[in-house]
Chain A
Amino acid sequence: MSVLVDSSTRLLVQGITGREAANFTRECLDYGTWLVAGVTPGKGGAEVYGVPVFDTVAQAVRKTNINASLISVPPLLVLDAVLEALASDLELIVIITERVPRRDVAILLAAAETAGCRVIGPNSLGLITPAVCKVGSIGGPARDVGRAYTPGRVGVASRSGGMTTELASMLSARGIGQSTCISVGGDPLLGTTLLDAYRLFDADPETDVVVTFSEPGGDQEIELAEELEAMGVRTPVVGVVAGRFVDEMPGTRFGHAGTMVQAGGLSTEEKVRRLQTAGVHVVRRLSDLPGEVARRLDTATEAA
């Protein structure tokens, strides 16, 4: 099984006529993703690799059976694109665009929450259920995707888009497949955090181990650690925490209010310690990852 995207995902691409969007549209089609429609205002009636383009999301909904949208429009147009998608009751929105203003993200996430719609991103490379459905440029062209991502029982949630593919490639080389791999996005404010991704994987009976990739900044790791401490670790987590050197860099201090409200500015070592205390298996060397995941899979199989 998988989380968020599978063979029932019927995808819309907002901004489909853009250069990058047209590129990954072809990649997704080649991979077998059910990509049924695109929207670019003013380009209605056109086609991108055989996919019909509409002027509005409402038109696309009337003419096709879409249930998810991938948004790749310029940063200042993202908020409007999300509100347009929400008006059509889509279940999943994946935002590829980076550099979306913080205020716009706060507004669109609040609107999505009210509408009961899941948001991945912004600044996500997409997500993939190997051999079934790829949403976004994650993994690149279909033939390259097949070299890195293979079907299996490990869920991956990564704050780095590029490292999502590296992690999957390392696991696949060891014969360990993945259920779903999610690039949660590189921004501070996200629709789906590492904890949200963990909850999804934990509820999936066919995900046995979760891999997380962390970077400096923000609060996601502490949020995850607090949840694991409170609820106990159900599905084991193997974590990679990059950027230990940043601890020694001056000038990355958070403001006072940040310290008070969100426990910001925690060092990488502190994050590692909190995750370990909560029961996450943090690997020190990246190359130790496949072995650690294999051990957790063995334990999970024995317990079952």
Chain B
Amino acid sequence: MRLYEWEAKALLAERGVTVPDGSLVTSAEGARQAAATLGGDVVVKAQVLRGGRLKAGLIRFASDPSSAGREAASLLDDRGGAEAITSVLVERKLELESERFLGVLYDLRRRSPVFVWSAAGGIDVEQDTGSDDVVSLHFDADRPVPAHELRKSLVQAGVTGAALRGVAQVAQAITDLLLLEDATLVEVNPLAQLADGRWIALDAHVELDSDALARHPELVSRFGLDARGDGDRVPTDAEQTAKAIDGLDHRGVAGRLIEFDGDIALVMGGGGASLTVFDAIRDAGGSPANYCEVGGNPSVAKVAAFTTLLLGELGARRLAVIMNVVSNTRADLIARGVVQGCVDAGRDPRTTIAVFRVPGAWEHESRELLADYGIEALGREIGIDEASQAAVTTR
């Protein structure tokens, strides 16, 4: 779960990392006042949950309070992106000597957290892969990293003199943040050296482990993380409704909705099968209205509400229900749910459900139930991609 820049910087500042003077504002007038308080040149930075802001024009520069206000107004009015901008960070613009990159994350192959330092920072750092200036240090996840290990690694990377202690302190802060606050990624890019020799975090990117939020109730309430989706994308209204539907009860999953603009609504699951079905529908020339993952054993009410959402709010014409051979998902409960969902949306199940292919547990009961509505359930002898093909060609 990605944090906003100002949130990430607040966490770093609490661990002793210097960040630029600045304030978070939600209006042009607020930005003007903030710039006046700071005095001199300022940077106006849109607070959005994605990277590449400079190239996208979401970071602006201003030399006086009134132009800071104008830049903030234009950012706050920006409706071009997928994500509305509701706040901007106004910071003092600084004279810099040099820029570096440092980060911590989990190395999946080594199954270990790793600290990474690059002598080259800035916006093009991702193109610098394989550079000799990049060093990494794998460390144990079960205790804070000893400071001397970080210093040793930095010395190997050629960090010496006055810089060593300053950079090592930032390194300690981000490794502690990863372990103690259950982050999965912490990046400071760039970490810059000021003319007076101090090191300062100009930008920061923190991803928290959404599976560990229960251990950090103070972060959840402080930043309102309950309402935030995973990843860089802000959920659409329908996607938020789907999340609420999935929360109706704790039985199974009927959610992870992602909206697309096609005409075939998909009820599918679990994760691997959903990916397979979505690919197969597109390979067959079809256009899905949504992605989703239905798994475990969701209640009839949940599946019904989810189906109604797909047919109503998303306006899909037809419904395809396709799953892998199920073990603990009950095919008959899925059948009852989608039929109920059609009825609730004011649609005829027989003409709406183009395909129903949920072989496995309680398959026989689902077959009988659907036959009552004039729908023929497909068995496991019809493959996932054949069922998807049928969903596209059925009129």
Contacts and interface: CB of A to CB of B under 8 A. Distances in A.
B114 A261 contact: yes
A257 B103 contact: yes
B105 interface: yes
Contacts of A20: 328
Contact of A140 (B184, B207, B275, B328): B328
B141 A245 contact: no
A104 B208 CA distance: 14
A141 B116 contact: no
B384 A250 contact: no
A215 B209 CA distance: 20
A261 B383 contact: no
Contact of B270 (A162, A173, A262): A162
A261 B179 contact: no
Given A188-B106, A258-B105, A242 B276 contact: yes
B348 interface: no
B295 interface: yes
A162 B279 contact: no
A230 to B, nearest CB: 14
Contacts of A261: 105, 107, 114, 116, 136
B282 A245 contact: yes
Interface residues of A, number: 67
Contacts of B128: 260
B261 interface: no
Contact of A286 (B108, B184, B185, B383): B383
A223 B82 CA distance: 35
Interface in A102-150: 102-104, 106-107, 109-110, 113, 125, 137-141, 144, 148
* Interface residues on chain B, size class: 35 or more
Contact of A162 (B108, B179, B187, B272): B272
Contact of A106 (B141, B233, B280, B385): B141
Interface string B108-145: 11011110101000000110110000101000111000
Given A165-B327, A215-B275, A245-B278, A255 B109 contact: no
Nearest to A105: B111
Contacts of A188: 106, 108
A100 interface: yes
A58 interface: no
A125 B326 CA distance: 12
A101 B385 contact: no
Contact of A255 (B136, B205, B270): B205
A102 B106 CA distance: 8
Contacts of A262: 105, 107-109
Given A255-B207, A261-B136, A110 B126 contact: no
B237 interface: no
Interface in B188-216: 189, 205, 207, 209, 211-212, 214-215
Interface string A8-26: 0000000000001001000
B51 interface: yes
6 contacts: A103-B212, A125-B327, A140-B327, A242-B272, A242-B279, A257-B101
Nearest 5 A/B pairs, CB to CB: A160-B272, A140-B327, A257-B103, A101-B212, A166-B324
